[in-house]
Structure 1
Amino acid sequence: MKAAAAFLLVLGCLAVSHAWRCSEAPRLSYALQIDAGMGMVVATDAYRRAYFLSGRSWYRLGTTALKHVSVGPAGTWGTDTSNRVHKLVAGNFKRSTGLTMQQVDAGGAGQLVGSRPSNYLAYCLREQYALPYTGVGGIGWSYLSRALKYFSCGPLYGCWGVDTSSRVFLTRAMAPTTCRTSGWIYVSGIAMKMVEVGTDGNVFGVSTAGKLYQRLGISSRSPQGTTWRLVPMCMTVQHVSYDLRQLWVVTTSRMVMTCIH
């Protein structure tokens, strides 16, 4: 019965997604969060298990319990339920020393960014620390003078984040060697609970109401874009990621969907 209901929901999404053609992704029960980058797709479930997608099957990624996982040029990193930061090294996650983070993103040009628990202060880990880290020794985070509850970077047009008031901000550039930014720009419009940046510069956001949006008009001259466009979905959305022209969506009912334009 549950499988039939899920199939009908997917058919509904196919009917309303217009320019995006969506289908159910390989099934991952109780999916919580997903991240795509460097041709890889990783995810976590409600039991705090991390997975990677290979073909049509999900496989366990390490043995560490993680609530959030991210893959990109900086490697594969995650945070556990105690907000400790881990990096995937030789097939398993190694815990780093230093600051705790409630969410990290590895999608930039080599740097790792993160948001602290409780106060949501934003930090950046320079590429010279992030890339070679093997789980041994300390790592030094750089404070970015910004509070963000969700933070995502891309290699082309900088980083996007959502503050504690669900407002969206962009920094046009972040130097991976120094973590210096070009200053922050407020992106007016829709209150978001998260935004994700793809490697090609595309930006998607999930509103506080659980609706999915794409940012239009992004270019090197206008990295903040021009407007938000609704991507119609038949279910409310929990999390989203985008890589290589493919959109990955986790719904609030814990279903994983994949969409192509």
Structure 2
Amino acid sequence: MKAVAVFLLFLSCLSLGHCWTCKEAPQQCQAEQIDAGQGKVVLRDRHSRAYFLSGCHWYRLGSVYLKHVSVGDAGIWGVDYDNKVYKYIAGEFVLSNGQTLSQVDAGGVSQIVGVTKSDTIHCLKSSAASAFKQEGTLSWTLLPGALKYFSCSPTNSCWGVNSGGAIYFTTISPTTCEISGWVHVPGVAVMAEVGSDGNVFVVNSGGDVFQRTGISSGTPQGTDWSHIQTSASHVSYDLGRLWVVTKGGVILQCVQ
């Protein structure tokens, strides 16, 4: 596994001229998807079990089998293989009725966003997400457009990828779920993740990871892409740390 980390580090130095230093993170056998937010890290393994990182160990979260799990200001949320949506409450994932999703993201300012298997986009207002404490029905806001993967940050910036691999940017109001309008960003990806500080990373179908550069208040969609990793299946970024799950299921933690 150390050879994998060294190889990835070498590639990141070549591509940027300055290094992302990667090391093995605590390992969980057959990891497939990872998410980080508000200093917390969660993952899903190949057997659809969700875990939470504490110290050097991964601990099982609840008993519900999930295909996607996310953590952020509004807590830990996930979706199962029937596309049912859950919030982690008091040691177990509690079912929320009212909307099915194939992917969910909890990275915004207490609002939750997600997409369905038919690529429709939905947002749960921050007041509803925070108030959800027991099984019940939630009312989601349908957003314009079509995406297969969607991610937001506490900076209100949101990035998504559609079924054709096109990348889009918008901002969302956490209290109303109103969006600023979609901006097409050049590039092709299968997923996009936004960190808590607004940093953006995408992964393409070949497993290459790119970071969006030139993001500013005047140009929130950024200006260019920098290639920083290869052989990744999923990534997430929070508090200066890039978490990578490689195609071989190895978990890496990278810092710049």
Report the TM-score, using the length of structure 2 for normalisation: 0.96
Alignment-derived partner of residue 179 in structure 2:
181
Partner SS, residue 17 of structure 1: helix
Alignment-derived partner of residue 254 in structure 2:
259
Q: Deviations over 1:206-248 (max 9, x none)?
A: 0122100000011111110000100033xx1110000000000
- Kept in 2, the 8 Å contact 1:49–1:60? The answer is yes
Aligned-pair CA distance for 1:157: 4.5
- Kept in 2, the 8 Å contact 1:157–1:223? The answer is no
Alignment-derived partner of residue 192 in structure 1:
189
In structure 2, C-alpha distance between the alignment counterparts of 1:125 and 1:89, rounded to whole Å: 17
In structure 1, C-alpha distance between the alignment counterparts of 2:99 and 2:210, rounded to whole Å: 32
- Return the match for 2:241 from 237, 246, 259: 246
In structure 1, C-alpha distance between the alignment counterparts of 2:152 and 2:126, rounded to whole Å: 13
Q: Deviations over 1:57-110 (max 9, x none)?
A: 111111111111000112110001111000000111001111110000000111
- Return the match for 2:7 from 12, 19, 24: 12
Alignment-derived partner of residue 26 in structure 2:
26
- Residue 147 of structure 1 aligns with an amino acid whose one-letter code is A
Partner SS, residue 247 of structure 1: strand
What is the correspondence of 1:107-186 to structure 2 with a 5 Å cutoff? 107-117=107-117, 119-171=118-170, 173-186=171-184
Q: Deviations over 1:114-155 (max 9, x none)?
A: 1011x1100000111111101332100100011110000011
- Kept in 2, the 8 Å contact 1:157–1:220? The answer is no
Report the TM-score, using the length of structure 1 for normalisation: 0.94
Q: Deviations over 1:30-51 (max 9, x none)?
A: 0010000010000000000000
Identity, % of aligned pairs?
48
